[in-house]
Amino acid sequence: MAVTQQRFSIRTPGRGTIEITEQVQQIVAHSEIEVGLCNVFLHHTGASLIMCENADPSVRHDLETFFSRIAPDGDPAFIHVLEGPDDMSAHVRMVLTKTELTMPITEGECTLGRWQGIYLYEHRITPHTRDVTVTVFG
Amino acid sequence: MAVTQQRFSIRTPGRGTIEITEQVQQIVAHSEIEVGLCNVFLHHTGASLIMCENADPSVRHDLETFFSRIAPDGDPAFIHVLEGPDDMSAHVRMVLTKTELTMPITEGECTLGRWQGIYLYEHRITPHTRDVTVTVFG
Amino acid sequence: MAVTQQRFSIRTPGRGTIEITEQVQQIVAHSEIEVGLCNVFLHHTGASLIMCENADPSVRHDLETFFSRIAPDGDPAFIHVLEGPDDMSAHVRMVLTKTELTMPITEGECTLGRWQGIYLYEHRITPHTRDVTVTVFG
């Protein structure tokens, strides 16, 4: 049994999704762990992680449509507006999605389903640098 | 310290919840691990996992009422409709719930609360075969 | 590699958030594990865990505003009302948030982001005693 850990940064172009499956799989491959668990953790509260359908980009387009309706920017009911109209809506979207994902490793890789991809979901309008830590056990 | 892993399939009858607590507890019991963690992972984006109240089925009935309101089938705002009116609503429900759950093992079993059960939540209208991987560490 | 586990109880004053970051970090420090994972698990279905912004209490105030809108007490569509108007709304809020969080341990502590705190979110109106199990691996 061993544990390895690696941290990396991603520059987001502003609100939207960026796939990070490949970065995660490379860290798992490097670990040479055959059977175990992989935890992906995002160190922020204005962005989040989602497991999402990876074939049709319209899924992520529609997800944004959904979150724009349920957690719109500039909601007059919110008092936490220090960083602008997308400040509190970003926190709400983060709470409704994931800050971490833990996945099985089988035969040396994260055994995701055929249509599953790991995405960083930036909730702020402007570009941000986001840190991710991947921990591999097995 | 050891790790064991087992994958199983479930045939769902279409939209709704199916309890899988017993399958998970049996894999934990077989592992003979006394103290550790158990990760349950679902390999799909049209279904999800939830931890839910396990005593009164009306809780899952009301959950469906809630998701039907917040993520209805046939939403005219969605463009991802390739597989029908329940395609994108299924992905939204999946993103709002869980693809994996990690739980403590104590004295040889997942120490769930008295009212906690692990449920697979099928979001598609038609029956599907869903794969689950359980990884046990300790 | 080692695993340690500790359970503790928190008395909540009723609906609202209580930070438990310090309790979790103390258990991690006691474990003397330098690199690994920390899992925090809540044994209830009427409360949940969230990772939340930890600097401005108005974020949690606005979160409550959001959940009061999306999952209000006394929703006439719900049939699970045995324990009162906050019974089913509590379960919905629980399903939309987290029952467990798994976080990386680096240099002997949970490496949360600067603005991340771990919160127990009580969804019932009246005070409750809530049990949390922390499992540390590494």
Which chain B residues are closer than 8 Å to A138 by Cβ?
A: 3
Nearest CA in chain C to A136: C36
Contacts of B120 (CB under 8 A, 6+ apart): B10, B12, B17, B18, B20, B42, B47, B48, B49, B130, B132
Q: Where are the alpha helices (DSSP H) in B6-127?
A: 21-31, 58-70, 87-96
Nearest CA in chain A to B103: A102
Nearest CA in chain B to A34: B3
Q: What pLDDT does residue C36 have?
A: 98
> Are the Cβ atoms of A51 and B45 closer than 8 angstroms?
yes
Residue C1 at interface with chain A, using a CB cutoff of 8 Å: yes
Q: Which amino acid is at C30?
A: H
Q: What pLDDT does residue B65 have?
A: 98
Q: What pLDDT does residue B63 have?
A: 98
What CATH number did the domain enclosing C126 receive? 2.60.120.460
How many structural domains are present in chain A? 1
What mean pLDDT comes out for the span A15-37?
A: 98
Residue B101 at interface with chain C, using a CB cutoff of 8 Å: yes
Q: What pLDDT does residue A55 have?
A: 94
What mean pLDDT comes out for the span C117-130?
A: 98
> Are the Cβ atoms of C91 and B1 closer than 8 angstroms?
no
Q: Which of these, B62, A2, A45, lies nearest to C81 by C-alpha position?
A: B62
Question: How close does chain A come to C17, measured CA to CA in Å?
Answer: 13
pLDDT tens, C4-60? 999 999 999 999 999 999 999 999 999 999 999 999 999 999 999 999 999 999 999
Q: What pLDDT does residue C93 have?
A: 98
Of B41, B70, B71, the CB nearest to A104: B41
Q: What pLDDT does residue A122 have?
A: 98
A36: which 2 tokens? 């175990």
Compute the count of residue pairs across chains A and C with CB atoms less than 8 Å apart: 87
pLDDT tens, C71-112? 999 999 999 999 999 999 999 999 999 999 999 999 999 999
Of A103, A113, A137, the CB nearest to B45: A113
Which chain B residues are closer than 8 Å to C77 by Cβ?
A: 62, 65-66, 69
The answer to whether C45 touches B113, Cβ cutoff 8 Å, is yes
Compute the count of residue pairs across chains B and C with CB atoms less than 8 Å apart: 87
Rounded to whole angstroms, the Cα distance separating C121 from C89 reads: 13
Residue numbers in chain B where pLDDT is lower than 70: none
Nearest CA in chain A to B46: A53
Q: What pLDDT does residue B49 have?
A: 98
What pTM does this model have? 0.98
Residue A49 at interface with chain B, using a CB cutoff of 8 Å: no
Rounded to whole angstroms, the Cα distance separating A31 from A81 reads: 43
Q: What pLDDT does residue B116 have?
A: 98
Q: Where are the alpha helices (DSSP H) in C10-97?
A: 21-31, 58-70, 87-96
Angle value at C-alpha B99, between B89 and A126, nearest 5 degrees: 70
What mean pLDDT comes out for the span A106-129?
A: 98
Of C52, C103, C104, the CB nearest to A95: C52
The range of the structural domain enclosing residue B51 comes to 3-137
pLDDT tens, A39-81? 999 999 999 999 999 999 999 999 999 999 999 999 999 999 9
CB atoms within 10 A of CB B15: 22
Q: What pLDDT does residue C34 have?
A: 97
Q: Which of these, A101, A135, A108, A102, lies nearest to A35 by C-alpha position?
A: A108
Query: b/e for C45-54, b at 16 or more Cβ within 10 A?
Result: bbbbbbbbbb
Residue length of chain C: 138
State which H helix or E strand residue A27 sits in: helix A21-31
